[in-house]
């Protein structure tokens, strides 16, 4: 566990020995317990870890989504990997918090880990089994650049489906109103919360597709809610 010791030592040195600094990078020992309870039924990690129900997680930091050798991924995960989704501290944090924030059709049967401290501990544990990060907490791909959590007030906005229909023409130049998947995923009958969370993940550049980042970046919170209401109810 030399990596953890080096991380803690450096952060404590920079912070003047403040105990809170160690918490910022997560407690990897606690993370091992979180992994055993929350993840180990499907995922393995450690020397020689095999794929199981889910892919093995050695070297997860810096790995392209859908790229573990020998594992058959869902269509949605493979598509996000093709779009360029790479597992970093930010994207893993967002995915573990709410898997559908990054991969709408993920097969992972897991509602997400809302506890920030537990999630940070889990990621600290997984980081110990990745060889890409250097032995400093700011090194890519372990540096945190954004806060992926979504304000509950944004999720509480009640969208106007009529306004959503007015806004929808740009969406339906690619996405089919009838819900068919012609190489582009369907957004028809998508649950409103999933739609909102996904669009804000594009706004925060956690989801990597540049066109969707641009489109989402032009929309206000109310406009996203309106589109979500329209597509959820589309006949």
Predicted confidence (pLDDT) per residue in 99-124, tens digit: 989 998 888 888 889 999 999 999 99
What are the sequence ranges of the domains in the chain? Answer: 2-127, 152-233
What pLDDT, on the 0 to 100 scale, is given for residue 77? 94
What pLDDT, on the 0 to 100 scale, is given for residue 49? 95
- Would you tell me which CATH number, out of the four given (3.30.930.10, 3.40.50.460, 1.10.760.10, 1.20.58.1690), belongs to the domain 2-127? 1.10.760.10
CATH superfamily of 152-233: Cytochrome c-like domain (1.10.760.10)
What pLDDT, on the 0 to 100 scale, is given for residue 15? 31
What pLDDT, on the 0 to 100 scale, is given for residue 151? 86
> What are the pLDDT digits (tens) for 26-66?
788 999 999 999 999 999 999 999 999 999 999 999 999 99
What pLDDT, on the 0 to 100 scale, is given for residue 27? 87
What pLDDT, on the 0 to 100 scale, is given for residue 133? 59
**Residue ranges of the chain whose pLDDT lies below 50:** 1-24, 136
Per-residue H/E/C for the chain? CHHHHHHHHHHHHHCCCCCHHHHHCCCHHHHHHHHHHHCCCCCCCCCCCCCCCCCCCCCCCCCECCCCCCCCCCHHHHHHHHHCCECCHHHHHHHHHCHHHCCCCCCCCCCCCCCHHHHHHHHHHHHCCCCCCCCCCCCCCCCCCCCCCCCHHHHCCCCCHHHHHHHCCCHHHCCCCCCCCCCCCCCCCCCHHHHHHHHHHHHCCCCCCHHHHHHHHCCCHHHHHHHHHHHHHCC
| Whether pTM exceeds 0.85 | no
What pLDDT, on the 0 to 100 scale, is given for residue 178? 87
| Domain 2-127 identical in fold to domain 152-233 | yes
């Amino acid at each position: 566990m030399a990596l953890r010791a080096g991380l803690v030592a450096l952060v404590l040195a920079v912070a003047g020995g403040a105990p809170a600094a160690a918490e910022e990078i997560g407690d990897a020992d606690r993370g091992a317990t979180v992994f055993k309870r929350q993840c180990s039924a499907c995922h393995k990690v450690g020397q020689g870890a095999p794929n199981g129900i889910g892919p093995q997680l050695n070297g997860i930091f810096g790995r392209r989504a859908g790229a573990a050798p020998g594992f058959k991924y869902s269509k949605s995960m493979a598509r996000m990997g093709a779009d360029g989704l790479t597992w970093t501290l930010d994207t893993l944090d967002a995915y573990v918090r709410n898997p559908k924030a990054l991969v709408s059709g993920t097969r992972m049967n897991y509602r997400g880990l809302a506890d920030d401290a537990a999630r940070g501990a889990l990621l600290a544990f997984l980081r110990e089994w990745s060889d890409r990060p250097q032995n400093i907490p700011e090194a890519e791909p372990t540096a945190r650049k954004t806060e992926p959590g979504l304000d509950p007030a944004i999720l509480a906005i009640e969208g106007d489906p009529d306004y959503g229909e007015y806004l929808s023409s740009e969406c339906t130049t690619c996405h089919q109103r009838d819900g068919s998947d012609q190489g582009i995923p369907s957004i028809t009958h998508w649950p409103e919360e999933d739609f909102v969370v996904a669009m804000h993940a594009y706004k925060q550049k956690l989801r990597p597709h540049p066109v969707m980042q641009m489109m989402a970046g032009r929309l206000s919170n109310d406009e996203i809610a309106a589109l979500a209401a329209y597509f959820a109810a589309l006949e």
